[in-house]
Structure 1
Amino acid sequence: MASSRHEPTLLGLCDGAFDDKKYQSSFLTNKIGGLPDWLPSLPRMSPRCRRCSSLLAHVVQVYCPLEGSPYHRTIHLFACPAEECRGRSDSWTALRSQCLEAEVKAARISRKPEPAQEALLSSTDWCDSANDWGIDEEDGGAFKMDKQVLEEEPDVHTVDEDVVNRLDCLHLVEQQTDIPVLCPFFISVVDELDVAAEEDDLAHAHELLRDYERREGVAVGTLDGGEERYEKSRAHHGDAAFSRFMKRISPCPQQVLRYCRGGQPLFISEPPANMGQLVMLCGSCGGPRMLELQLMPALVSLLRWKDGGGVTELEFGTVLVYTCTESCRMSESQQLVDEFCFVQMDPDQQLFK
């Protein structure tokens, strides 16, 4: 029996602070925080919370073109910093944008060149041995985050009233200075299978070390230099979903993001029985959505306000992002699609209230 093709789950890791005074990021840069880098064909804008109308903070930017597609493709995640909106799915916004390379070039020609240097990151094809989710702009989109092939340009669909209302929360921000900004960080990437293989090798080495200690009657110590491994105190509340979650991330608990378009969600607690109905159809084309990525608990500790503003109130266990299966476009003039977010809080957060 033929086995199914492996679709890798890619883990995003914090890879150091991004100095935005030295470099200028672009829509090709993958990062935590900072200001969003929109496609050149889009104006600068910032979404507002659908619940309280507060300006949202930009949390994560992921450049994720589909294999075989002619489109540049970026996903931006935003969250409301207001305390009353904490942990609510409707206080998060995921905006997907995509355009052709010709549209990018046309937009750049119409603008004055910017003197700041683009962020130059060492990058290779990130399904093989990439070190960053960033890319030199001249590489033209080398990262392939998905194996789905889109052979034809998506059809242009009529924008329904619901989509218009949801995108009304976007506001031009050319002169706006009160936007909440998080400290920016680069994101590096590893394949989850590679991490698991390294963990198995280390466990085997530890077992050999223990055998040697028992045989020789000596205490050699640890193989990892005695460094304390990341581990958060957890309640023993018998939550099966939580246990599965912790077991799955244990080889790499510092992961801030998981990417596997069309993969299975990793819930931190039992999902609602009607989860399938909660994930709304695409508001642009009416088609189904699939899981594309999810934010992880290790990201929370990195979310600090820029310029010494302190720790944020953005708390979550995981944020699951579902996007249009066909990755449709709304129209040539409206390139943003509002996707679906589902937030689960950390089951242990209630212990610290």
Structure 2
Amino acid sequence: MASRPEEVTLIGVCDGQLDSKRYQSSYLTNKVGGPPDWLPGISLQSTRCGRCGAPLAHVVQVYCPLEASPYHRNLHLFACPGVECSGRSDSWRVLRSQCLEAESAGTASRPDPAQEAPLAATDWCDTADDWGMEDEEDWGGGMKKEIHKEAAAAPEAQAACETDVSSQLQDLSLGERQEDVPVLRSFFISVVEESDLFGEEDDLRHAQRLLREYERREGVAVGELDGGEGKGGEEKYEKTKARHGDAVFSRFMKKISLCPQQIMRYCRGGKPLFISEPPSNMAQVVSACGCCGGSRTFELQLMPALVSLLQRGDSGVEAELEFGTVLVYTCTNSCWTTGSKSAMEEICFVQTDPDQQLFK
């Protein structure tokens, strides 16, 4: 049996505002806010809050095809901007949509490079993966994607699934005014591999280890190598104490400390980064896929730094969206039937953060 490829966590960061007058986004674009760009053939979806019934704002769009799959694949996250609904899992929705590459040919072409703004979402670091970038050999781009088997759902099972989703989603009607749907300011999302952020820290840790070995061998004490000296030449020690004894929160803060401006973490099949202790019934919270009945797996999570970017496009006023982290779990098989017109609903799990103001 071949060993499983090492899991790679991708870090999403804001890469500048997406000006719709200068750049026409498509389903290939990874972005915050703006209207959702649906895949060709996917019916327009109107999502409403499970708590108050209000129209949901489009928060994030991610182009995330899977390796060895013939499908384009998108995730769209929506949330209720109402104050009373902030931080509640039932006020968030995530929809997964797919279509064959052949179905999209000639329907939604890649935007003209001349239209792209500087530092657009398709401009990656040299060692980073092309999150959503296509090339001639690999239509799915260079994202680290898990090899999987496409679930061959029977037509009747798919029809039942679409009926179930349709009962949860209200179709966009001609009578619904567009201004009733809140639209957030749009920003590009760019990406780097998390491992690229650890180079300097690994060097420092190695130096610290050598220093401790030298102290034990020679019986002398030397100052800490922390990148700077303490006041008056004294040794400088920095110790992190868990807030209120919250070890989970402490680990969360330590993990994101090298890139506190990260707005998203992506690692399909990896381990989520909880901001607080998860519920004991997490296995029940992440229920089986409503379509194929298979298991769900962690795919991505939104981070606290995203909150300050969520502003209403018409006024620039910050939306009433507060959260610590939003974890997204999707069908492990990414089940889909060719020709389907309805997006699949997946699971959002929201954890709140009492120290949210630290990220603004």
TM-score, normalised by the number of residues in structure 2:
0.79
Provide the secondary structure at the position in 1 that maps to 2:305. Answer: helix
Unaligned runs of 5+ in 1: 219-233
Counterpart in 2 of 1:6? 6
Counterpart in 2 of 1:169? 170
Matches within 5 A, 1:115-130: 119=116, 121=120, 123=122, 129-130=127-128
Task: Give the AA of the match of 2:292.
Answer: C
Tell me the distance in 2 between the aligned counterparts of 1:181 and 1:268.
28
Task: Give the AA of the match of 2:279.
Answer: P
Bigger drift between 97-106 and 178-187 goes to 97-106
Tell me the distance in 2 between the aligned counterparts of 1:325 and 1:64.
14
1:171 Cα deviation (Å)? 2.1
Q: 1:301 to 1:132 in 2, by over 3 A?
A: farther
Report if the CA contact (8 A) 2:132-2:143 is conserved.
no
Q: 1:14 to 1:202 in 2, by over 3 A?
A: farther
Counterpart in 2 of 1:187? 189
Tell me the distance in 1 between the aligned counterparts of 2:170 and 2:113.
30
Matches within 5 A, 1:311-330: 311-329=318-336
Q: 1:44 to 1:115 in 2, by over 3 A?
A: farther
Q: 1:172 to 1:328 in 2, by over 3 A?
A: farther
Counterpart in 2 of 1:84? 84
Bigger drift between 185-194 and 90-99 goes to 185-194
Is the counterpart of residue 263 in structure 1 residue 261 in structure 2? no
Tell me the distance in 1 between the aligned counterparts of 2:271 and 2:10.
13
Report if the CA contact (8 A) 1:235-1:348 is conserved.
no
Task: List per-residue Cα deviations over 1:282-322 (Å, max 9, x = no partner).
Answer: 11111110000000001011111113240111000000000
Counterpart in 2 of 1:252? 259
Counterpart in 2 of 1:63? 63
Report if the CA contact (8 A) 1:12-1:190 is conserved.
yes
Is the counterpart of residue 307 in structure 1 residue 314 in structure 2? yes
Q: 1:129 to 1:82 in 2, by over 3 A?
A: same
Counterpart in 1 of 2:35? 35
Q: Whose radius of gyration is greater, 1 or 2? A: 2
Identity of counterpart residues, as a percentage? Answer: 56
Tell me the distance in 2 between the aligned counterparts of 1:52 and 1:331.
34
Q: 2:225 aligns with which of 207, 211, 215?
A: 207
Matches within 5 A, 1:106-185: 119=116, 121=120, 123=122, 129-130=127-128, 133-135=131-133, 140-150=139-149, 156=155, 157-158=157-158, 159-160=160-161, 162-166=164-168, 168-172=169-173, 176-185=178-187
Q: 1:52 to 1:324 in 2, by over 3 A?
A: same
Counterpart in 2 of 1:281? 288
Tell me the distance in 2 between the aligned counterparts of 1:135 and 1:3.
27
Unaligned runs of 5+ in 2: 209-223, 234-240
